[in-house]
Amino acid sequence: MRIALLGTRGVPAQYGGFETAVEEVGRRLVDRGHEVTVYCRGSGGADSYRGMTLVHLPAARRKALETLSHTALSVGHVSLGRARYDAAVVFNAANAPFLPALRLRGIPTALHADGLEWKRAKWGGAGKRYYRAAEALSVRWADAVIADAQGIADYYEDEFGLPTELLAYGAPILRDPPADRLADLGLEPGGYHLVVARFEPENHVSEIVDGAVRSGARLPVVVVGSAPYADDYTARVEGLAARERSRVSLIGGVWDQELLDQLYAHALLYVHGHSVGGTNPSLLRAMGAGTAVAAYDVSFNAGVLGGDGLVFRDAGDVASCLERAEADPAEMRAAGRRLQDRAAELYRWDDVAEGYEKLLEKIAGGHSTRGVASGRRRG
């Protein structure tokens, strides 16, 4: 098949879950004999990557328009170009209004819904209403809707009566990774806790930092991340961290994947505050590295951890998790091994890619959920 992947920042993956999925699934589809084209944000860049053809198009650098402007150009390129695609995957429910243009071109399309984007604090009233409307359009216009977590699948079934395709992410499994790069940051194996997240309220970075400052934990909490559109929230996190700099180390974004692997693998505890997405790649990466996890208490995280992690809801809970981890490092190492085994069994990129392949073959052959649900909410 000839397959187009649209709606993300593109590859190489350096940002989030969508980009990771595009890279890991796309390259495996190429290995299976398919031709894969990935639409990437920004001008210039290589024409191919890991066997995938890359098309670079610009995007408006504004929070509300970046995704939509780039996807509009991408869909236009697909619709007006010479290439004929057998199937496409559009990532992000916000891009649902562009699905009819692909249908007019005769391209069966699956839409990857992601999490409950309308719950994110960065969107005002108009943004929240748009995302909820876009969810309904996804139900009406996509040939298949992809959910990456059971909680998301349940949401679409409960809200719209729509059966989705459950395709989670994969976890890279790290066995006995080196630790030589930690010294660059003044760290040693087992001598720190880790957070990796964009600075957004629904990722609860401020609560985690607040909990670290309040706690009696001895080890520092290393926070990897930033946010392009969250200056006020970033200032809040920095203000909390400044109260006790020996407890919290804000190191910004880390794009060196080898260093990031070592940070995941050698933390005593990975603290995961994401609350509105589905299956989160950062959580899977910590599990695959064999690291114990404390996660924000929502169904998405609980489903991934399967009962083998600590949970928290507020800063006080975070403090307790950090203290508990330091009180029993041996149990944390054992919990990390159990999580790694779970990741290796349930979250395999080869299985995910096979799921995408079967789905795309199915919709290319005429299967579609259009008409199964009206797009009206049941509630």
User: Looking at residue 229, what is its pLDDT?
Assistant: 64
How high is the mean pLDDT of the chain? 93
User: Looking at residue 123, what is its pLDDT?
Assistant: 64
pLDDT digits (tens, 9 = 90+) for 156-196: 999 999 999 999 999 999 999 999 999 999 999 999 999 99
More confident: 117 or 203: 203
CA dihedral of 60, 65, 69, 71, whole degrees rounded to 10: 130
Residue 320, amino acid:
S
CA distances from 310 to 1, 117, 215, 272 (A): 44, 25, 16, 10
305's enclosing H/E stretch is: helix 299-305
User: Looking at residue 227, what is its pLDDT?
Assistant: 77
Q: Are strands 2-6 and 293-296 parallel, antiparallel or unpaired?
A: unpaired
Asked if pLDDT for residue 119 goes beyond 70, the answer is no
DSSP letter at 370?
B
User: Looking at residue 114, what is its pLDDT?
Assistant: 76
Asked if pLDDT for residue 117 goes beyond 90, the answer is no
pLDDT digits (tens, 9 = 90+) for 259-304: 999 999 999 999 999 988 788 889 999 999 999 999 999 988 999 9
Provide the whole-model pTM: 0.89
Q: Which of 8-12, 115-119, 197-201, 266-270 has the lowest mean pLDDT?
A: 115-119
Q: In the chain, what is the straight-line distance between the N-terminal and C-terminal CA atoms, in Å?
A: 39
User: Looking at residue 265, what is its pLDDT?
Assistant: 98
User: Looking at residue 151, what is its pLDDT?
Assistant: 86
Tokens of 284: 């899977």
Residue 204, amino acid:
H
Sign of CA dihedral 37, 42, 43, 48: negative
Q: Enumerate the CATH 3.40.50.2000 domain ranges in the chain, comma separated.
A: 2-170+349-364, 182-346
- CATH class of the domain at 2-170+349-364: alpha beta
CATH homologous superfamily for the domain 182-346? Glycogen Phosphorylase B; (3.40.50.2000)
pLDDT digits (tens, 9 = 90+) for 234-261: 999 999 999 888 899 999 999 898 999 9
